[in-house]
Amino acid sequence: MPRIAAIYRYPIKGLTPEPLARTALIPGQTIPGDRLYAIENGPSGFDPAAPGYLAKTHFLMLMKNERLATLRTSFDQDSHTLTIADRSPQQGSEISADLRTAAGRLSIEKFFAAYCASELRGPPKILHSEGHSFSDVAKKVVSIINLASVAAVGDMVGVPVNPLRFRANLYVEGWPAWSELDLVGKELKAGLRARLKVVKRIVRCAATNVDPDTGLRDLNIPQTLMRNLDHADCGIYAEVIEGGEVAAGDAIEIL
């Protein structure tokens, strides 16, 4: 039976993925803790008191700022402490700060002001609003990648492709390659109780061209998909319609 091979969340948009052994799926919500914070790249008009969807181009993100992949970051959910390790040979430094405090946010903003100096449209700013997710889409969804489709992309480009290029929440094994693209409108059961409705195929952008280990822009996945499949879709978005806990290894069933 197809199963959930891995679960990830991305506490800070554009920064290091965080693997989860298990998580709760909540109706109408993202994976808990997913895209809690974003780093504004120049004034965006975001209002924490009335948060709304903004396109990813307002933030530092891998589609334009591949150097983010060379950082290794960790986020403590309880203390909201972000730790950034700069692995570049010239730096090799580490910084930690509490994002709930003005001083903590300022120290992280200063780091990115220096680290991404040539790519900024204005002073970087840490953004957050309770209950808001800085997702790539307006609806609160869970993103799902079929590992067989990732393997098929690897066959197209002639090298193994790291699934983390696609920055999904749930990675599924046991589905035939590309079969997930036909699931729009269908419901899935994950674990014992959670149910999700597939609402949209994911159109891939240039973020997938960046190697998540090296930060090198070494592939052209959207163009490869277009050339081979006449579309740039890989993965699906699903809305949680019935809650429940899911864990790596749990079955995922098409209802």
d(CA 169, CA 236): 10
In this structure, are 191 and 222 located in the same domain? yes
Domain that holds residue 64: 37-44+53-128
The pLDDT tens digits for 238-251 are 999 999 999 999 99
Shared-domain flag, residues 204 and 146: yes
Structure confidence at residue 68 (pLDDT): 95
Residue where one domain finishes, among candidates 103, 128, 153? 128
| pLDDT 10s digits, 89-130 | 556 678 999 999 999 999 999 999 999 999 999 999 999 999
Domain termination site, one of 106, 128, 150 = 128
**8 and 97 share one domain:** no
Cα distance between residue 62 and residue 249, in whole Å = 29
Q: Same domain for 145 and 233?
A: yes
Mean pLDDT over 207-225 rounds to: 95
C-alpha to C-alpha distance for 250 and 98, rounded to whole angstroms: 34
Report the distance separating Cα 165 and Cα 10, nearest Å.
13
Q: Looking at the 3D structure of the chain, how many domains does it have?
A: 2
Q: Which of 70, 104, 128 is the last residue of a domain?
A: 128
Residue 24: which CATH number? 2.40.33.20
pTM above 0.85, yes or no: yes
- Hey, is 223 helix, strand or coil? helix
Residues 196 and 75 in one domain: no
